[in-house]
A and B are shown apart, each in its own frame.
Chain A
């Protein structure tokens, strides 16, 4: 098995380390760092907006670049968390808790270096685990039938919506909207046109890239404008790695020696689970670290372990999220959904057979992640002054860059003005969704997986002759059905219990 992995990795390295592969990996990592720097503009938006820039590239090289943007944004997002108390990316929110106090104590340099090392550690552990787990999971998944696939999609979407606090219901509606939009076009089973209103442009369906760029790119941009980001002055910061105080102390490394491992393990598990992702991984990583610490009172006041834990976790989670994507063809987050859309755009067939049918692609991508993490740690330490300079650009000047990239990119895909208008409409809907508590990520996820969900659901229906007993007759389906029920019932049961407790407390209060 080890010999197989070594052979596969060397095949992957021959692609990722080729002049083209390496060049676009560096470009992707660099762009990812910049995407991470700007608050409110996450990896999903970054990948969606920059997809059109990969035209003309070979599919593997294009995906290597897009994946570089994805995990590069995790590194970049922390810079603003530490320096200006504003997370550049939702997965780096937890890093603000101790990162900013460290900067206030005059330890911005050590904090930036430790976050880079933690990110590298988490990212690399994550990629090692992908190397070990993805092929085995793909082998295991090769026996999956339509019922298992449908249940995995349903569990993933439900878990994504349970991340939404009181807005779970709105998350569920967001996913249904994605499914509804996904039904537009020709039905693959019968060939009948659905919701095309006679327009030839809609026969092929609503192209996901325009919707994703609109929801994530224009939608997030309008939301940032709504919150007044374009009215804020630029932050002028200076930092140099030539300063003596720039480097962490021995004590920093010693105290964090177990934190790197704990954060990485927690993050990877959170990443593999559909729907949870890097944001939850980093928050759990931080909470666990605080709980196991002998001195939890130090957390929140500039404790290095409080920065290392979420950083190792969010990078391991971003790698972990690639496991279901590569082995099952099922993304667990908005960003990986956009990546899956890019796979489809390049003619790749995601699923358990991807590793068998396109080993150059899968192993090229995995090998590029090893290299990407090495490039990113070097960039995160030695190019910090350059990235800090990007913060000098006021957001008011960033707005037109995003708008032009979105509009020109959406048009350039199929030279279609209808798709460009779909982008504009999706942008407005994305803004309203963000403002009123809906989930654009759930919509994109459901849109990308819509046809697969429909196909697997109907196949299950037909095979079981309308009884749907395949959902509990096969062992894996049964386990997934139980998980699905638990995801649905647990929040309802908890809400009922807390209401009953509240009523009991009220009655007791009145009685006394």
Chain B
């Protein structure tokens, strides 16, 4: 996935530069920099650095594929200190189990929450999000989940809508 992310960034960098070149003026009639000058500089730097970055990630991937061993990176100072504290090798720190599926589910729920917010209103959307989330990841506590799903949205709605007078989406029920 790392190389795909790098490739996506390169594609975006190219799109950013090409779109900028085709829609923005680079220099004014008096030869001064115009609205497209700075974006063009950023675009060129982005394309160059993203190309080198993608090349590095591809080489790393090919090496990993050939040898079956993930390349060793120089750890960040933070990771080094953490490894020192835990008494382990710095490069083994991120080697624990991964929960990509859970990330996908939570992200999907967040998207659903934002999508229904304007339709059913903020309070009901918060309640639905919490119910669905808690009954996916914390199934054992039915009563606790129900109380929590009611209490937290009510508290936040009160805080933002009543105390802070913020504007929140209103549903057909008026809240």
Contact = CB atoms under 8 A, between A and B. Distances in A.
A19 interface: no
A400 B152 contact: yes
B53 A194 contact: no
B32 interface: yes
B122 A411 contact: yes
Contact of A52 (B43, B73, B81, B160): B160
A166 B74 contact: yes
Interface in B108-156: 110-111, 113-114, 117-118, 122, 126, 129-130, 133-134, 137-138, 148, 152-153, 156
A100 B86 CA distance: 9
Given A85-B85, A164-B76, A176-B46, A462 B33 contact: yes
Given A279-B78, A400-B152, A411-B122, A462 B32 contact: yes
A420 B84 contact: no
A52 B163 CA distance: 12
A226 B160 CA distance: 30
Contact of B38 (A163, A428, A454): A454
Given A87-B82, A164-B76, A400 B129 contact: yes
A179 B93 CA distance: 32
Interface string B27-51: 0100011111111001101100110
Contacts of B9: 173, 177
Interface stretch (A8-16, A21-29, A183-191, A365-373): A183-191
B39 A404 contact: no
A93 interface: yes
Interface in B5-25: 5-6, 9, 13, 16, 19-20, 23-25
Nearest to B17: A180
Given A180-B46, A190-B35, A228-B97, A421 B114 contact: yes
B93 to A, nearest CB: 10
B43 to A, nearest CB: 7
A165 B74 contact: yes
A405 B76 contact: no
Contacts of B134: 397, 400
A258 interface: no
A194 B19 CA distance: 10
B118 A169 contact: no
A403 B39 contact: no
B168 interface: yes
Contacts of B111: 424
A117 B110 CA distance: 41
A166 B24 CA distance: 36
A431 interface: yes
Contacts of B13: 180
A300 interface: yes
B63 interface: no
A90 interface: yes
B156 A404 contact: yes
Contact of B35 (A55, A189, A283, A421): A189
Interface in A382-419: 394, 396-397, 399-401, 403-405, 407-409, 411-412, 415, 417
Contacts of A403: 106, 110, 113, 129, 133
A283 B129 contact: no
A280 interface: yes
Contact of B53 (A173, A397, A408, A457): A173
B172 interface: no
Q: Which size bracket describes the interface of B in this complex?
A: 35 or more
B106 A225 contact: yes
A176 B16 CA distance: 12
A412 B164 contact: yes
B96 interface: yes
Nearest to B99: A228
Contacts of A411: 117, 122, 168-169
B20 A458 contact: no
A187 to B, nearest CB: 4
A195 B77 contact: no
A53 interface: yes
Contacts of B103: 222, 225-226, 431
A230 B85 contact: no
B45 A176 contact: yes
Interface string A436-458: 11000000000000000010011
A97 B73 contact: no
A390 to B, nearest CB: 16
Interface in A41-100: 52-53, 55-56, 85, 87, 90, 93-94, 96-97, 100
A167 interface: yes
Nearest to A455: B38
Nearest to A99: B85
Query: Which one of A177, A180, A279 has the greatest number of beta carbons of chain B within 10 Å?
Result: A180
Given A166-B73, A189-B35, A403-B113, A415 B167 contact: yes
Contacts of A52: 160, 164, 166
Q: Enumerate the 7 nearest inter-chain pairs by beta-carbon distance, A residue then B residue, closest first.
A: A412-B166, A96-B85, A187-B35, A192-B35, A415-B167, A166-B73, A165-B76
Interface of B: 1-2, 5-6, 9, 13, 16, 19-20, 23-25, 28, 32-39, 42-43, 45-46, 49-50, 52-53, 56, 73-82, 84-86, 96-100, 102-103, 106-107, 110-111, 113-114, 117-118, 122, 126, 129-130, 133-134, 137-138, 148, 152-153, 156, 159-160, 163-169
20 contacts: A53-B159, A55-B165, A56-B164, A85-B85, A85-B86, A94-B85, A163-B77, A176-B49, A180-B13, A222-B106, A228-B99, A230-B102, A231-B99, A396-B138, A397-B148, A407-B113, A408-B122, A408-B168, A424-B114, A461-B33
Given A96-B81, A190-B28, A222-B107, 17 more contacts: A56-B164, A100-B85, A165-B73, A176-B45, A180-B42, A192-B25, A195-B16, A230-B137, A397-B148, A399-B106, A399-B133, A403-B110, A411-B168, A415-B167, A417-B118, A432-B5, A436-B6
